[in-house]
C-alpha cells in the first residue's frame, strides 16, 4: 500500500450514480445493463476506475444509502448475474470497479434491525445503539443530518435508537465486535468476487462516545449539532486499523473513505491517509469545507446555504492546505462535486455564457493537482444544476426536509426555498445523464424517476463526443495529458501569486520537471505576471481551453475562465 507506483494514485475515477446513468429496461430508472452498455463511452473518455454508488437491496429512503441486504443487488438495478457481467466487461476493457460500502448504518428493513427492535434480549439488540428515554424525551439533543432529532422512539420496547441520517437509517453499533466481524466478512466477500476497492460512506462517524453527551445548543434550539462527539469518535481509528488488517490489506484494492469534515485539520486528515497509518488510501474530506468557513453554522441546512458565498481566497487556502498536508507520506482525493453537492460548473463556474469555458477550466484544475481525481457523471459534458419548478418535483429525503425546515425556521417563501434548493439540493445534480438529443435525453424509454434537465438538446454526450472542441473532448485530452506527464500526478504543489484576485496559479515539481498551471476563475480577462523565479524560462504550452493562447508565460492574458498548463524548462 505504500509505493509510488500504487495504481490508484495514477488512476482517474468516474463516479456513476446508477439510478440516473442509463436505463437498460425502460422502467425509468438506470440499471446495471444500462451501465454495461455505456462502458465503451467511459473507456473512450480515458477513465481507469468506475465507482458505483450503492446498488444493493434497499427500500430507497435515501436512494440506496439505506441498505437492507449487503449481498443482494436491488431488483431495480438487475440481478447478480448482471453485476457479474458488468464486472467482467469492466475488467475486459482494462478498467476497474469500486463499490460503495455503507456501514455506518443499515436500513431499518435490514434483518439485523428487524430482529434488533423485537425485544431487548434479542441477539441483534446490541447491533444498534438503543437507549431508554431521558425524562420523557430523547436520550440526548443531537440533530440528524437530514433534519429533526437523531433519535427515533420505538414503541415496542419503549426505547430510542440512534440515527445520524434519516430515521430509516439506524446507526450500527461498531463497539460490538460481532457487528465489526459481520462487516469485514461482507467486505471480504465482495473483494473475493473481484471488485477493485470500496468507497466507505460516512466512515468517520462510526465511533460514538458511550456517554453520548448533549451538544451545545443556542437558546431555543431543540436539536443541536453533535459532530464534536461523533465525528472522528474515540475508537474510529482503532476500528479502521482493524478493518485494514483483517480485510483491506489482504487484497490489491483501493479504499477511499468519506469523511465528515468537522474539525478537519492537516493532522486529522493524515491520521486517516498517512501511508504509515495503515487505514485508508485516501478520503473525501471537505465536501463543504472547500469553499467557506462553516464554523458558525448551526445546522446542516445553514452549512449548505453558506456554500453560496464561496470565494477564491478560501478555495486557494483550503486546497493549498490539503496539498501540503498530504505531500509527505499521504495521498488525497480531488473532486469538486458529487451526488451530494452542486454541479461544479453551476457552483464554481458560470453555467450561462461561459459554461463551456468554465467547465474546461474546472476540469484543468481537477486534473492537475496531486491526488486521485474523481469525475462525477455528466461533469465531463459540463452538465448543470437542474432548475425544478416546485417541491413536488423533488425526490430526495434531505431536500424535502430542508424545504420543511425553510418553511418552519426561516419563514422564507416557497419561491425562495425552491431557488435555494435548485442551487443546493442533491436532486439538482442527480438528474438523468444526458446521452443525446432524443426523448428523455436518450436515458430511458420510460418515464424517468427524476425530471431530465431540459437543456439536454444543447448539452449531451452524442454531440460532444463528435465535437472536437467540446467539454468531453477536453476532458479526454486532459486525462491523456495527465497520464503522459507524471509531474501532474506526483509533483509537489506550490501556489504562485497567492494574492491574485482572479487567477489561481500553481506549479508542480517532480524530479527535473516543472509544470505551471494558470486558471482564471473570473468572468473578466486577467493578466498573469509570473513571479521572478519563473520569469525568462522557456515554456511549452501543454493545453489550454482557448485557441489563440500565446506561448510565453510573461504577461500572459487569460480570457474569461481561461486555463493553461505549461511545461517549463530550466
Ligand atoms: O453533513 C453532512 C450531511 O449534510 C455530510 O457531511 C454527511 O456526512 C455526508 O453527506 C454523508 O454522505 C453520505 O452518506 C449519506 C448519504 O445520504 C450520502 O448520499 C452519502 O454520500 C448517508 O448514507
- Residue 2 has what pLDDT? 35
pLDDT in tens, 326-346: 999 999 999 999 999 999 999
Q: Report how far ligand 1's centroid is from the alpha carbon of 447 (Å).
A: 28
Distance (Å, whole) CA 319 – CA 310: 13
Predicted local confidence at residue 552, as pLDDT: 76
Residue among 258, 299, 300, 302 to mutate when testing ligand 1 (max atoms within 8 A of CB): 258
Residue 214 CA, ligand 1 centroid: distance in Å: 22
Q: Which residue's alpha carbon is at the smallest distance from atom 7 of ligand 1?
A: 260
- Determine the residue of 64, 65, 168 to mutate for testing ligand 1's pocket, defined as the one with the most ligand atoms within 8 A of the Cβ atom: 65
Is 145 close to ligand 1, i.e. is its CB under 6 Å away? yes
pLDDT band at 307 (very low <50, low <70, confident <90, very high): low
The per-residue pLDDT for range 36-53, each reduced to its tens digit, is 999 999 999 999 999 999
**Ligand 1 proximity of 65 Cβ (cutoff 6 Å):** yes
Q: In what order do the strands lie in the sheet with 151-154?
A: 130-131, 159-162, 151-154
Contact 223, 139 (CB under 8 A): no
Catalytic residues: 201, 258
pLDDT tens, position by position, 475-520: 999 999 999 999 999 999 999 999 999 999 999 999 999 999 999 9
Return the axis-axis angle of helices 266-273 and 236-246, rounded to nearest 10°: 20
- From CA 452, how far away is CA 431, in angstroms rounded? 6
- At 128 the pLDDT is 98
Pocket test for ligand 1, best of 99, 170, 201 (most atoms within 8 A of CB): 201
Across the range 298-315, mean pLDDT stands at 73
**pLDDT band for position 404 (cuts 50, 70, 90):** confident
Residue 202 Cβ contacting ligand 1 at under 6 Å: yes
Q: Tell me how far apart the alpha carbons of residues 334 and 367 are, in angstroms, rounded to a whole number.
A: 8
SS3 at position 486: helix
pLDDT at residue number 311: 87
- Name the pLDDT band for 293 (thresholds 50, 70, 90): low
Q: How far is the CA of 341 from the centre of ligand 1 (A)?
A: 10
Q: What is the pLDDT of residues 58-106, one digit of tens each?
A: 999 999 999 999 999 999 999 999 999 999 999 999 999 999 999 999 9
- Cα-to-centroid distance, 483 and ligand 1 (Å): 31
Sign of CA dihedral 336, 341, 345, 348: negative
260 lines ligand 1 (CB under 6 A): yes
Confidence band, pLDDT 50/70/90 cuts, at residue 409: low
Q: Is residue 365's pLDDT more than 50?
A: yes
Distances from the Cα of 169 to the Cα of 65, 151, 160, angstroms: 8, 11, 13
Q: Which atom of ligand 1 is nearest to the CA of 338?
A: 21
For ligand 1, atom 12: residue with the closest CA: 202
Closest residue to atom 19 of ligand 1, CA basis: 340
Q: Please give the helix or strand (H or E) that residue 81 lies within, else none.
A: helix 80-92
Residues 516, 496: Cα–Cα separation, whole Å: 9
Amino acid at each position: 500500500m505504500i509505493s509510488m507506483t500504487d495504481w490508484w494514485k495514477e488512476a482517474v475515477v468516474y463516479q456513476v450514480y446508477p439510478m440516473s446513468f442509463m436505463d437498460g429496461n425502460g422502467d425509468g430508472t438506470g440499471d446495471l445493463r444500462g451501465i454495461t452498455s455505456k462502458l465503451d463511452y467511459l473507456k473512450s473518455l480515458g477513465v481507469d476506475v468506475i465507482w458505483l454508488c450503492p446498488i444493493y437491496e434497499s427500500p430507497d429512503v435515501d436512494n440506496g444509502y439505506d441498505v437492507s441486504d449487503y449481498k443482494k443487488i436491488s431488483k431495480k438495478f438487475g440481478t447478480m448475474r448482471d453485476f457479474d457481467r458488468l464486472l467482467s466487461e469492466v475488467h475486459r476493457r482494462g478498467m476497474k470497479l469500486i463499490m460503495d460500502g455503507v456501514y455506518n448504518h443499515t436500513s431499518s428493513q435490514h434483518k439485523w434491525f428487524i430482529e434488533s427492535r423485537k425485544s431487548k434480549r434479542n441477539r441483534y439488540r446490541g447491533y444498534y445503539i438503543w437507549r431508554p428515554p431521558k425524562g420523557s424525551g430523547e436520550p440526548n439533543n443531537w440533530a440528524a443530518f437530514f433534519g429533526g432529532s437523531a433519535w427515533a422512539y420505538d414503541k415496542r420496547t419503549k426505547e430510542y435508537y440512534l440515527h445520524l441520517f434519516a430515521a430509516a437509517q439506524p446507526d450500527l453499533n461498531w463497539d460490538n465486535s460481532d457487528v465489526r466481524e459481520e462487516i469485514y466478512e461482507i467486505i471480504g466477500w465482495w473483494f473475493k468476487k473481484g471488485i477493485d476497492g470500496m468507497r466507505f460512506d460516512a466512515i468517520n462517524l462510526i465511533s460514538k462516545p458511550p456517554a453520548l453527551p448533549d451538544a451545545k445548543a443556542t437558546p431555543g434550539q431543540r436539536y443541536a449539532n453533535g459532530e464534536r462527539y461523533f465525528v472522528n469518535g474515540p475508537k474510529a481509528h482503532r476500528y479502521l486499523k482493524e478493518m485494514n488488517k483483517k480485510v483491506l490489506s489482504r487484497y490489491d484494492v483501493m479504499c477511499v473513505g468519506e469523511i465528515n469534515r468537522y474539525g478537519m485539520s492537516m493532522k486529522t486528515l493524515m491520521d486517516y491517509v498517512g501511508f504509515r497509518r495503515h487505514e485508508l488510501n485516501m478520503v473525501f474530506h471537505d465536501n463543504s469545507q472547500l469553499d467557506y468557513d462553516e464554523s458558525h453554522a448551526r445546522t446542516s441546512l445553514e452549512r449548505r446555504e453558506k456554500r453560496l458565498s464561496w470565494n477564491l481566497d478560501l478555495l486557494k487556502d483550503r486546497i493549498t492546505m490539503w496539498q501540503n498536508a498530504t505531500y509527505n507520506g499521504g495521498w488525497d482525493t480531488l473532486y469538486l462535486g458529487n451526488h451530494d453537492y452542486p454541479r461544479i460548473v453551476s457552483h464554481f463556474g458560470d453555467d450561462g455564457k461561459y459554461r463551456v469555458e468554465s467547465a474546461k477550466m474546472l476540469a484543468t484544475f481537477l486534473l492537475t493537482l496531486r491526488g486521485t481525481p474523481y469525475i462525477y457523471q455528466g461533469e465531463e459534458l459540463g452538465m448543470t444544476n437542474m432548475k425544478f419548478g416546485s417541491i413536488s418535483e423533488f425526490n430526495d429525503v434531505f431536500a424535502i426536509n430542508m424545504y420543511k425546515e425553510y418553511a418552519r425556521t426561516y419563514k422564507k417563501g416557497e419561491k425562495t426555498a425552491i431557488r435555494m434548493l435548485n442551487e443546493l439540493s442533491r436532486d439538482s445534480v442527480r438528474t438523468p445523464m444526458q446521452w443525446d438529443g432524443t426523448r428523455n435525453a436518450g436515458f430511458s424509454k420510460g418515464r424517468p424517476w427524476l425530471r431530465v434537465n431540459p437543456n439536454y438538446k444543447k448539452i449531451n454526450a452524442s454531440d460532444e463526443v463528435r465535437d472536437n472542441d467540446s467539454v468531453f473532448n477536453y476532458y479526454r485530452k486532459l486525462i491523456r495529458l495527465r497520464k503522459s506527464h507524471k509531474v501532474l500526478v506526483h509533483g509537489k504543489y506550490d501556489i504562485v501569486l497567492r494574492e491574485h484576485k482572479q487567477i489561481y496559479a500553481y506549479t508542480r515539481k517532480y524530479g527535473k520537471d516543472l509544470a505551471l498551471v494558470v486558471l482564471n476563475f473570473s468572468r473578466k480577462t486577467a493578466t498573469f505576471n509570473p513571479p521572478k523565479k519563473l520569469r525568462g524560462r522557456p515554456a511549452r504550452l501543454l493545453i489550454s481551453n482557448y485557441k489563440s493562447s500565446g506561448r510565453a508565460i510573461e504577461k500572459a492574458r487569460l480570457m474569461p475562465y481561461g486555463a493553461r498548463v505549461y511545461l517549463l524548462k530550466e
